[in-house]
Amino acid sequence: MDKIAEQILRRRMHGLYLSRKCEDLVRLSHELMGMHCWFHRNVAFSAVIRGAGLAGWKTALTKTWLYRGTLHGVPMEDLPTLLALHPGEWRWGEPYREIAERAVRLMEDGVYSRAEMRRIFAYDYDRQIIDRALSPWGGVFCELARMGRVAFRDMTSRDFDLIDAEPTQTQEEVLPELFRRFLTAYGPATLEDAAWFFGLWKADKHKLSALNVDEYERMEYQGDIYYSVPESADMGDIPELTLLSGFDPIIVSYVERGIILPAEYKSAVIMKSGICLPTIAVNGRVAGLWNLKKGEPVLEFFETQPKRIRDEAQDRVSSMGWLTAGKI
């Protein structure tokens, strides 16, 4: 790894709490701008790896759809600002809006599960409409969540509840603040990285280029400009061994992932379905996979590692099992 790549990686690991600790889960999620929750246990893994406890974690965060349409666990008070990145009116048309409003009224009456709503709506709509409206992938609840009206009942639930988190600002108003927060945790990063992270596609990507970036540090690497917030604190060393959660932010939050994920291992880490597996990093570079299967640690290194690395990784994965037992 060359010196510039090493500098980028050191600063990212510091910002993302991989070379230091954050004991408070809510603060951690706030600073990371949400924790990826395709599988809820990855939030628990990510928290423990970064030093946070799991007491009350299922209700400490709110699970909902954010950037790029992916599920994240976030502090409730952050939602109006984060949702303002993609504000707007209802997009699905009728009869789906009618179904959504009926779902809201049912939740007001204490009905929270899609299965129960499906039975109720079966008398009024055909199967195809109900399947789309109440899809396991979210259906109309994605739209209601985007508008700040619903979220999952807790981090592990598949049921929904009403919330009050409707955005009160425009995308243009929140973007400078969120861009700074992104660089604080995820920098150094490019404007392309920020556009990817925030889910700003062609119609909105140019808004990042219009931001005042003069206040940020910049460096050039392989023809790209990387921005970061000026930082006087000691960044610390890159740890010799690091566990990373599934969908770990240091892997999934950037367009170019080669600094941490060698190209030859990408297909072993990121499935064709888009699932990103829990990994083991050695000296800041992904070198293997880990998981807990039926509570038992499972490890696989892509290349031969020294015994001390293998033993330490085994101990850490076993510890992960103990720390999350009964909590996920």
Inter-residue long-range contacts of 74-80, CB under 8 Å, 24+ positions, other chains counted: 74/29, 74/30, 74/33, 74/34, 74/35, 75/26, 75/29, 75/30, 76/163, 76/165, 78/29, 78/30, 78/33, 78/34, 79/148, 79/151, 79/163, 79/165, 80/148, 80/165, 80/166, 80/167, 80/168, 80/169
Domain positions in the chain are 241-324
* pLDDT tens profile 94-136: 899 999 999 999 999 999 999 999 999 999 999 999 999 999 9
Mean pLDDT of 198-223: 92
* pTM, 2 dp: 0.94
Mean pLDDT of 14-27: 97
Q: What percent of the chain has pLDDT over 90?
A: 90
Number of neighbours of residue 149 by Cβ within 10 angstroms: 18
> What pLDDT is recorded for position 182?
98
User: How sure is the predictor about 288, in pLDDT bands with cuts at 50, 70 and 90?
Assistant: very high
pLDDT higher than 80, residue 208: yes
Is the Cβ–Cβ distance between 186 and 41 less than 8 Å?
A: no
Copy the structure tokens of residue 212: 């005042």
Angle at the Cα of 222 from the Cα atoms of 244 and 10, rounded to 5 degrees: 35
3-state secondary structure of 18: coil
Number of neighbours of residue 38 by Cβ within 10 angstroms: 15
* pLDDT tens profile 223-277: 999 999 998 778 889 999 999 999 999 999 999 999 999 999 999 999 999 999 9
> What pLDDT is recorded for position 281?
98
User: How sure is the predictor about 202, in pLDDT bands with cuts at 50, 70 and 90?
Assistant: confident
Its sign, for the CA torsion 68, 53, 260, 174, is positive
Is the Cβ–Cβ distance between 299 and 279 less than 8 Å?
A: no
Average pLDDT, the chain: 95
* pLDDT tens profile 138-173: 999 999 999 999 999 999 999 999 999 999 999 999
> What pLDDT is recorded for position 231?
80
Inter-residue long-range contacts of 26-31, CB under 8 Å, 24+ positions, other chains counted: 26/60, 26/61, 26/75, 28/52, 29/61, 29/73, 29/74, 29/75, 29/78, 30/74, 30/75, 30/78, 31/181, 31/184, 31/185
User: How sure is the predictor about 203, in pLDDT bands with cuts at 50, 70 and 90?
Assistant: confident
> What pLDDT is recorded for position 147?
95
> Which residues lie across from 298 on neighbouring strands?
291
> Which residues lie across from 73 on neighbouring strands?
35, 63
> What pLDDT is recorded for position 283?
97
Mean pLDDT of 189-201: 96
Q: What is the DSSP string of 103-166?
A: HHHHHHTT---HHHHHHHHTTTS-HHHHHHHT-TT-THHHHHHHTTSEEESSTT-S-EEE----
